[in-house]
Amino acid sequence: MRLRSGVFAASCLLVEALGVALFLRGFFPVAVRSLPRREARGDPPAEPAPPGPVVDRCQQYLLAVAKSLKHHLSRLCRVHFSVVLLHFPYPVQPSYPYSNGMVSNWTKIPPPLFKKVVLVLIDALRDDFVFGSKGKQFMPYTTQVVEKGTSYSFIAEAKPPTVTMPRIKALMTGSIPGFIDVIVNLNSPALLDDNLIWQAKTTGKRIIFYGDDTWVKLFPKHFVEHDGTTSFFVSDFTEVDDNVTRHLDRVLKREDWDLLILHYLGLDHIGHMTGPNSPLVGPKLREMDNILKKIHISLLSKEEASLPNLLVVCGDHGMSETGSHGGSSEGEVHTPLLFISSAFEKRSGPLTPPGLVQQTDLASTLAVGLGLPISRNSVGNLILPVVGGKTMREQLRFVHLNGFQLSRLLQENTPAYEKDPGYEHFKIAEKSHGNWIKLYLEGNNSEILLNLGKKVLKQYLEALKTLSSSLSKQVAQYDMYSMMVGTVIIMEVLLLLLLSIPKALSSQAEFEVPLSPPLFSLLFYLMCLMLCAVHVIVCTSAESLCYFCSMSWLTAVGVMMLISALMCGILSAIAKIFENFRLPLKNLVVSSSSWSEIDVLILAGTIGHVLSLGASSFIEEEHQTWYFLINTLCLVLCQELCRNNFLLKEWEPHHSTTMKQNFDSVGEASECKNIDIPAAGNSKLSKATSSAEFIKGSDKWISLASPWIILICCRLLRSLNQTGVQWAHRSDFGHWLTSSEHKSELSFLAAISLLMILFLVQRRCSLVSKIAMALGLLGVYSYRAAIGNVIFPWQHDSKDISKGITEARFVYVFVLGIVFTGTKDLLKSQVISADSSVKSTGLWEVYSGLVLLAALLFRPHNLPVLVFCLLIQTMMTKYIWRPLKCDAAQITVMHYWFGQAFFYFQGNSNGIATVDISAGFVGLESYVEIPAIFLTAFATYTGPLLWAIHLLCYLSSEVNRNSAAVGHGCFCYAVLRSVPVAIYIVLVTGLRYHLFIWSVFSPKLLYEGVHVFITAAVCLFFMAMDQKHSQKV
Ligand SMILES: [Zn+2]
Ligand SMILES: [Zn+2]
């Protein structure tokens, strides 16, 4: 069977996308947790027993035997037996009768410490908004309570990803949610783990909630009263909060609730739109301060003699210097945590800076405060000062319960838990606790007892800290089997692509796929059988849950057959290469002199970039790599142009022949070896004449200047969006433009940019599309004006801001219209086989439709990115590629590099925080999943996508080019994407226990994964456009 390069590349990428999906599923598994909550209602442990003389060695031995038996049994059949065993009384501390008849019979959960609890969560509340100068200025009441009132204040550290939903989960379960929560952030299913809200509801507490409707989705039917507000319209600063506050007066007067949760979103929205230093932040903080004052006074006024009330103020995450969140910068992870209650002692003495705690600590602390069991998956520690007013016995009881819960979680997740230092500490502390109880029960109530208690408390706290740190490390486990299968598929595809380079880039651009030589079919069946056997063994012996094993047998066998087939393909390709080596020697004539500077740069650049992916700083600052590469590329092109203009005249015939010899060259597995220089003999002639023509014109000087103009464009773009991590906080031109006092400048720039886009795009469109484009771009401007980003010249005072739905839909109509016209032309050229100009117009129209869509989705300050993108493409096409006669492979690589650079020029980075989710809501009344995901993905990958489509436009519009050019382009594009993905996946597997795995490597993995899916789609489009070639051959 013969396959064309385009078809081959597209199918390879589809298979690769499958492998990537499997790998991602294994890499981001559901976190390993404790048993489901329904089975987990074991009794709380009793207080540690005082060591009595009755406890002799014999009993200790029996206990040890029982424990080891339980351990082995549960390892054997983890799921079924451990459920049963957990219902056994825990064998370590039964309450022994004490010698003088006294028994510690405190086996119940301690009663609640607070009557009512109000939890105020202010989204994106950064620590310096409360404790810094902003807090002093805008939150006077809170500052006064923090400094002189009855309160405890802390800085709570949130773990990345600092995104709302995982943070709410962490606050309420005390566990560390996996990274996968970022992806499902937009579509939150109900929380099934044991959590504070569920515990409170089961013990009959009445909970009221107002605010972000993520809570209502996470805890359906848990609230006796709720009013959820959607958080997706980030341009709304007031309504989201008024929606919460309007209930407040009524609820505070009532007595029929125990827990009130308020989640304020306005501050987060202000951060997203204008950043942490915007003038809007101050008034918002003042509003929050007044609300806190109101709640606090109301709680104080209703306090009775029985129990005090508690007010908790916290943030789910902070915000970065640009106002977004998701990453791990200090501003994003540090949030304030305040406990305010009349139960605490009044603050006095010099002001101490707030201590650092973990965000997960809140769940255990609130559980103790409300008299509930601590959630089973919680890795948090009790914040001791909050219970500091209680007696020593009670305090010890609380920390013991916390330690018991942590050590049980450790037992369920690690086989070797007994060797864990935290577990050892806990056992020691438990023993001294028992001794303390003995003294206590004897009626010893002196100073000594208190001091001894303090010592025990300290031991406990140390144990808690060690336990939770070793648990936090273990919470995430990788599904290695799925990862391995995915990696094998990806590596096989990569090998196959690399081995087929010489054939795929030959002038025919197609090759033989050996389907059924008998040897390979035998090998194929053998491998299938072997792999299936391995699958059965792995899946029956695996201890933990594995995604690939949970798939149906048929799918698994299908995947195994795929792997075997790919393996056979690789082997046959290798065999063929050896055959070619042994056959005639003519191929060895290929000389290395045919490598131009561009080829060397392309190869070195690709290898260098791939190698740089192993270092976290290179990933954080990946934009620097790409900027460097395209700048170097411009310099090399400049040199090449000089040579072409001044020196090459006499060299040319020679140059051309060496290039020609390269056809069908076998050898170097570099993605740049390749040729589609016009095949026939007249090419030399045409080239010479065109070159002569070219040199005559004044175009020569424009051509010589164009690399320098491109360099200047790149420099300007660089200063537009500061990206990466290290220098992301530095002010850039984009910030200057978006600040509220420069609105008129921004409007001017946006208008100019839109005009430029129209000018650059229209020249190759049909008349209808031209008009549609102009109207569409006008619609883009009025959309931005409607949502308040830019102003019309006649509009002086800022009028009321709308969501701009009508305007955005107006633009969508034109986008669809232009794309439709383009598709119609394409179909016409495909079916009726009209001349190629119809086809290239059609392609260009599809391209311009995408440009219009990008103009709508881009923030107004990013519109120059689009202009420069079009400008550079035009210059490259006219003045560089055409005169230099670059081959399809070189042009593809250049397109790919510029696409990558534009990915960063538009403000993206390898962190989750820079994804502009507001793009997913342009023109939508409410959140609709599929369009939102599509629009966000398009807005994020606009740069690479536009360059890829431009590549297709360019390659198919060049008439004098070999008809295989599109196939070559598609193939090179596939190779360029596969190399970094395959290597990165191997690297990330090796670095999976790296300190920065969550903050740096995982987001990058997600970006790479999504990019593979997009490239696969682009390659399919290429393949569809490659039809003409097949008809000709
Ligand atoms: Zn948030
Ligand atoms: Zn946010």
Per the prediction, the chain carries an average pLDDT of 81
CA 197 to ligand 1 center in whole angstroms: 19
Instruction: With H, G, I as helix, E, B as strand and everything else as coil, classify residue 312.
Output: strand
What is the per-residue pLDDT across 894-914, written as a single tens digit (0 to 9) for each? 999 999 999 999 989 888 778
Tokens of 956: 């198919």
DSSP conformation letters of 648-661: HHHHHHHHHHHHHH
Q: Distances in Å between the alpha carbon of 993 and those of 102, 466, 487, 990?
A: 50, 19, 18, 8
CA 317 to ligand 1 center in whole angstroms: 6
Q: Once rounded to an integer, what is the mean pLDDT over residues 667-694?
A: 41
Q: Once rounded to an integer, what is the mean pLDDT over residues 717-740?
A: 82
Judged against a pLDDT cut of 80, whether residue 647 lies above it is answered with no
DSSP 345: P
What is the per-residue pLDDT across 792-815, written as a single tens digit (0 to 9) for each? 877 766 556 677 888 899 999 999
What are φ and ψ of residue 216, in 5° steps? -65, -35
* Residue 712 confidence class, pLDDT cut points 50, 70, 90: very high
Judged against a pLDDT cut of 80, whether residue 496 lies above it is answered with yes
Which residues does residue 3 pair with via DSSP β-bridges, in sequence order? 511
- Most confident range (mean pLDDT) of 120-129, 410-419, 986-995 is 120-129
Tokens of 315: 């943030």
What contacts 744, CB < 8 A, 6 or more positions away? 791
Q: How far apart are CA 859 and CA 845, in angstroms?
A: 23
The pLDDT of residue 71? 56
Residue 843, CB half-sphere, CA atoms under 13 Å: how many? 25
Number of helices (H) and strands (E) in the chain: give both, helices first: 42, 10
Asked whether the beta carbons of 381 and 355 are under 8 A apart, the reply is no
CA 121 to ligand 1 center in whole angstroms: 9
Judged against a pLDDT cut of 80, whether residue 334 lies above it is answered with yes
Q: Describe the strand order of the beta sheet including 225-229 as a list of residue ranges.
A: 225-229, 207-212, 259-264, 117-122, 310-314, 334-340, 151-157, 355-358
What is the per-residue pLDDT across 32-43, written as a single tens digit (0 to 9) for each? 455 555 544 566
CA 314 to ligand 2 center in whole angstroms: 15
CA 246 to ligand 2 center in whole angstroms: 22
CA 165 to ligand 1 center in whole angstroms: 7
Please report which ligand is nearest the Cα atom of 323. 2
What contacts 336, CB < 8 A, 6 or more positions away? 125, 126, 127, 129, 130, 131, 153, 154, 155, 156, 313, 314, 315, 354
- Residue 337, H or E segment: strand 334-340
Strands 151-157 and 334-340: antiparallel
* Residue 697 confidence class, pLDDT cut points 50, 70, 90: low
Judged against a pLDDT cut of 70, whether residue 526 lies above it is answered with yes
The pLDDT of residue 856? 93
Strands 117-122 and 259-264: parallel
DSSP percent split of the chain into helix, strand, coil, nearest 5: 65, 5, 30
What is the per-residue pLDDT across 111-160, written as a single tens digit (0 to 9) for each? 899 999 999 999 999 999 999 999 999 999 999 999 888 999 999 999 87
CA 909 to ligand 2 center in whole angstroms: 17
- Residue 157, H or E segment: strand 151-157
Range with the poorest average pLDDT among 88-97, 389-398, 602-611: 88-97
CA 367 to ligand 2 center in whole angstroms: 27
Tokens of 146: 């923090």
CA 567 to ligand 2 center in whole angstroms: 46
Please report which ligand is nearest the Cα atom of 163. 1
CA 201 to ligand 1 center in whole angstroms: 24
Range with the poorest average pLDDT among 219-223, 537-541, 553-557: 537-541
Judged against a pLDDT cut of 60, whether residue 392 lies above it is answered with yes
Q: Would you call the peptide bond into 161 cis, given omega within 30 degrees of 0 as the criterion?
A: yes
Please report which ligand is nearest the Cα atom of 263. 1
Please report which ligand is nearest the Cα atom of 166. 1
What is the per-residue pLDDT across 187-229, written as a single tens digit (0 to 9) for each? 456 777 788 999 999 999 999 999 988 899 889 889 999 998 8
CA 153 to ligand 2 center in whole angstroms: 24
Q: How far apart are CA 417 and CA 440, in angstroms?
A: 31
Torsion angle of the four alpha carbons 474, 475, 476, 479, in this order, in degrees rounded to the nearest 10: 80
CA 185 to ligand 2 center in whole angstroms: 11
Q: How far apart are CA 75 and CA 813, in angstroms?
A: 61
Q: Once rounded to an integer, what is the mean pLDDT over residues 240-266?
A: 92
* Residue 346 confidence class, pLDDT cut points 50, 70, 90: confident
Tokens of 845: 């129209």
Give the dihedral sign, CA 314/320/323/327: negative
Q: How far apart are CA 251 and CA 209, in angstroms?
A: 10
Residue 539, CB half-sphere, CA atoms under 13 Å: how many? 17
Place of tokens 């999943």: 929
Q: Once rounded to an integer, what is the mean pLDDT over residues 625-653?
A: 81
Range with the poorest average pLDDT among 423-427, 695-699, 761-765, 852-856: 695-699
Judged against a pLDDT cut of 50, whether residue 680 lies above it is answered with no
Q: Once rounded to an integer, what is the mean pLDDT over residues 740-748?
A: 86
Residues belonging to the chain: 1033
Judged against a pLDDT cut of 80, whether residue 12 lies above it is answered with yes
Q: How far apart are CA 660 and CA 470, in angstroms?
A: 63
Place of tokens 């007892």: 449
Q: Once rounded to an integer, what is the mean pLDDT over residues 70-96?
A: 40
Residue 104: name the closest of 384, 535, 430, 416 by CA: 430
CA 163 to ligand 2 center in whole angstroms: 7
* Residue 827 confidence class, pLDDT cut points 50, 70, 90: confident
Q: How far apart are CA 734 and CA 275, in angstroms?
A: 12
The pLDDT of residue 68? 59
Q: Once rounded to an integer, what is the mean pLDDT over residues 666-693?
A: 40
Which ranges constitute the DSSP H helices of 77-151?
78-86, 127-131, 133-138, 140-148
Q: How far apart are CA 683 and CA 659, in angstroms?
A: 12
- Most confident range (mean pLDDT) of 412-416, 688-692, 814-818 is 814-818
- Most confident range (mean pLDDT) of 48-62, 83-97, 248-262, 675-689 is 248-262
CA 157 to ligand 1 center in whole angstroms: 14
CA 319 to ligand 1 center in whole angstroms: 9
Range with the poorest average pLDDT among 99-113, 319-333, 633-647, 854-868: 99-113
Range with the poorest average pLDDT among 503-507, 871-875, 1027-1031: 1027-1031
Q: Which residue has the higher pLDDT, 1033 or 534?
A: 534
CA 212 to ligand 1 center in whole angstroms: 9
The pLDDT of residue 80? 40
Residue 674 Cα to chain centre, angstroms: 36
DSSP conformation letters of 508-529: S-EEE-----HHHHHHHHHHHH
Q: How far apart are CA 260 and CA 361, in angstroms?
A: 19
Q: Which residue has the higher pLDDT, 520 or 340?
A: 340
b/e map of 300-322 (b: 16 or more CB within 10 Å)?
eeeeeeeebbbbbbbbbbbbbbb
CA 170 to ligand 2 center in whole angstroms: 16
What is the per-residue pLDDT across 360-379, written as a single tens digit (0 to 9) for each? 999 999 999 999 999 888 99
* Residue 182 confidence class, pLDDT cut points 50, 70, 90: low
The pLDDT of residue 366? 95
What is the per-residue pLDDT across 269-302, written as a single tens digit (0 to 9) for each? 998 888 888 888 999 999 999 999 999 999 999 8
Q: Once rounded to an integer, what is the mean pLDDT over residues 105-109?
A: 75
Tokens of 245: 């506050």
Asked whether the beta carbons of 276 and 331 are under 8 A apart, the reply is yes
Tokens of 349: 């003495």
Place of tokens 């002038």: 507
Judged against a pLDDT cut of 50, whether residue 93 lies above it is answered with no
| Percent of the chain topping pLDDT 70 | 81
Judged against a pLDDT cut of 90, whether residue 383 lies above it is answered with yes
CA 161 to ligand 2 center in whole angstroms: 12
What contacts 144, CB < 8 A, 6 or more positions away? none
Q: How far apart are CA 944 and CA 756, in angstroms?
A: 21
CA 250 to ligand 1 center in whole angstroms: 26
CA 162 to ligand 2 center in whole angstroms: 9
Tokens of 179: 């990274």
Q: Distances in Å between the alpha carbon of 944 and those of 430, 650, 719, 904?
A: 60, 39, 20, 10
DSSP conformation letters of 678-734: --STHHHHHHHHHHHHHHHSTHHHHHHHHHHHHHHHHHHHHHH---SSTTTTS--HH
DSSP conformation letters of 69-97: HHHHHHHHTHHHHHHHHHTSPPTT---PP
